[in-house]
């Protein structure tokens, strides 16, 4: 709890992370919050913008190769954020890279997901990878909420070590509706557009 409080305080002091609910409201409904990804501080900004009660059951998805790289990062991810680790490189040991996310959803948790898969230097999201589509198919009752993180591509872009203090806004959009029979490509582009339209 202490680590979480310190992370939230630091994030709010540096970037504000003010929430703007534009088409949805904070509720206890199980959700996947999916957002653009341009900075190491993205996860903290989105997580900090959620009400306290929702943060307790909302777990960020974190790349295992990055967040397990040293004890400090692992401590932040595990003890501060209660993150779910995902292996970005598929191997024999990770036949289903989405299994840890599915386990978290089966347990009733919500997730924070960055469908681009890696950080992007631009303000608008790059094409989404297939993970969001597969989770949406496997968990049709989980709400899919698009989120746009404004200004974080300038606050702490890829390659920077220290954040530049800028005000960031976290915009939560309306839940993405399911469309029966929609192809993976159409779904992913529609999801990406839902984030882009919040910019």
Q: Where along the chain do its domains lie?
A: 2-196
Question: Which single residue is written with the structure tokens 């024999």?
Answer: 92
Segment 44-60, tens digit of pLDDT: 889 999 999 999 999 99
Are the beta carbons of 95 and 7 closer than 8 angstroms?
no
CATH number for region 2-196: 3.40.1130.10
Segment 57-93, tens digit of pLDDT: 999 998 888 888 888 888 888 888 999 999 877 666 6
Residue numbers of the chain with a pLDDT score lower than 50: none
**Backbone φ/ψ region at 196: left (φ over 0), alpha (ψ -120 to 50), beta:** alpha
Q: Partners of 84 in the beta sheet?
A: 61
Please report, for residues 7, 53, 94, 102, 105, the alpha-carbon distance to residue 143 in angstroms, rounded to integers and kept in the order given: 26, 17, 26, 14, 11
Handedness of CA 91, 96, 98, 103 (dihedral sign): negative
Are the beta carbons of 170 and 195 closer than 8 angstroms?
no
Backbone phi, then psi, for 83, in 5-degree steps?
Answer: -70, 160
Give the separation between CA 52 and CA 121, rounded to whole angstroms: 30
Give the pLDDT confidence score for residue 41 in this predicted structure: 81
CA end-to-end distance (rounded Å), the chain: 32
pTM: 0.90
């Amino acid at each position: 709890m202490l680590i979480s409080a310190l992370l939230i305080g630091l994030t709010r002091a540096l970037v504000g992370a003010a929430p703007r609910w534009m088409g949805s409201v904070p509720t206890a409904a199980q959700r996947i919050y999916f957002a653009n990804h341009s900075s190491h501080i993205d996860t903290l900004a989105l997580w900090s913008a959620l009400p306290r009660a929702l943060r307790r059951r909302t777990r960020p998805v974190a790349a295992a190769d990055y967040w397990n790289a040293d004890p400090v990062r692992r401590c932040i991810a595990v003890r501060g954020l209660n993150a779910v680790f995902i292996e970005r490189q598929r191997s024999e040991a990770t036949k289903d890279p989405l299994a840890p996310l599915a386990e978290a959803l089966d347990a009733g948790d919500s997730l924070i997901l960055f469908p681009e898969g890696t950080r992007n230097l631009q303000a608008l999201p790059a094409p989404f990878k297939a993970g969001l589509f597969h989770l949406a198919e496997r968990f049709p009752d989980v709400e899919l909420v698009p989120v746009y993180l404004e200004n974080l591509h300038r606050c702490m872009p890829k390659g920077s070590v220290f954040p530049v203090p800028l005000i960031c806004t976290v915009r939560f959009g309306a839940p993405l509706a399911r469309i029966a029979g929609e192809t993976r490509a159409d779904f992913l582009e529609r999801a990406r557009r839902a984030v882009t339209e919040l910019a």
